[in-house]
Structure 1
């Protein structure tokens, strides 16, 4: 928050030319003492802030000061604008506003290089709303409760201290401290439902342990598989598997990879119909055959 306020103060002072510490304190809802500390930080950063005593006095930035020539070179300006562009692409209003103000300060536009939409092609924007809600509680250090469905399809109610969200493997996850077991957990956002914001707040420093490195583990073993896909499924093959695991044949694709030994993988393969064949392992091949026989009985 402090670094964002410094940019706001800098932008405001460039805009109004002269102000007072009291006026800045009221505008940014902090104490006058905090404003003086912020002004000291700007001075250390090389911003030429001048102070005038007496009636009509106050603080201002030297009228000959030009930010983009004094503090940041062109490449550094572009890096800041690119970072803000990435954040504003998350549709977070505060970053979109800050991006616009920094563009005015640097007197240049950022490249519109990224767009983020959390919803899938066939769903509404429910994921966007969920992300916004979780972002708010993380910044407020607010406790949340929700229903969660684990990898085995079991539903439970969780109450946690949310720490951060992260994106990996085409999915969003929440890292949080679970109070009931006094341990950090990772939750997949798509499996979180009925999120409830509690009237409870926390300080992350109160925990006996620091957040671990970001990870997500389903407690399932991995197995080696060899799959044969028909040629017409080429785009799906490259969407779902690593390039180095795919061997392109004359009329098919051979995929050799590791997958979680989990029932969902059979459902995944069934989505390709007759366009895929399990070559190895034989045990998995037999499992799919049994699943197909059960499927036939459903429709008899």
Structure 2
């Protein structure tokens, strides 16, 4: 497992707001406890509000604000996309300015998901991944609003590609990376997809309605 994938998985574990021991996380991810300690240091250095200490446990807290502003998810998306585009520019001065701006944003944008509409910050992915993920955003957002099923071509962590029919339910912001929570009909279970790994998204004519066990309110991270 790549380190970036493991860091993503650690955030998935911590997102419930409960205290988790490093040794339990290590056992779940099949790595050493020392590796988890290093990963927690990396997350903290990236701006993720990790609280805790070795031998006790770790958890994530804090709400998303950009003092003195409170941003909507759409505004965060626009800010993220602008920085991502400029950071890939050929103009070295603009690129340096974009990276400097990103550092400032990272420093003042700690987050925690408390409610369904809240966002998460995860500032350890490269800008290129974020820019690639934004290509699918209009389709995903429109399908969530319309309650419309999607056909996804998804690149798994092992490099394999799978076609999925999903019920898109919710999107979350992790700072440079977005995720899509959906009910996957292939797996008959909830799945969280990294948007930057979605190679294509096609809206299907079939709509869906709430069914017990398949609603966002039924999802337990």
Shorter-chain TM-score range? 0.3 to 0.5
| Structure with larger RCO (C-alpha < 8 A, sep 6+) | 2
Structure with larger Rg: 1
Task: Give the alignment's TM-score, normalised by structure 1.
Answer: 0.32
Task: Give the alignment's TM-score, normalised by structure 2.
Answer: 0.43
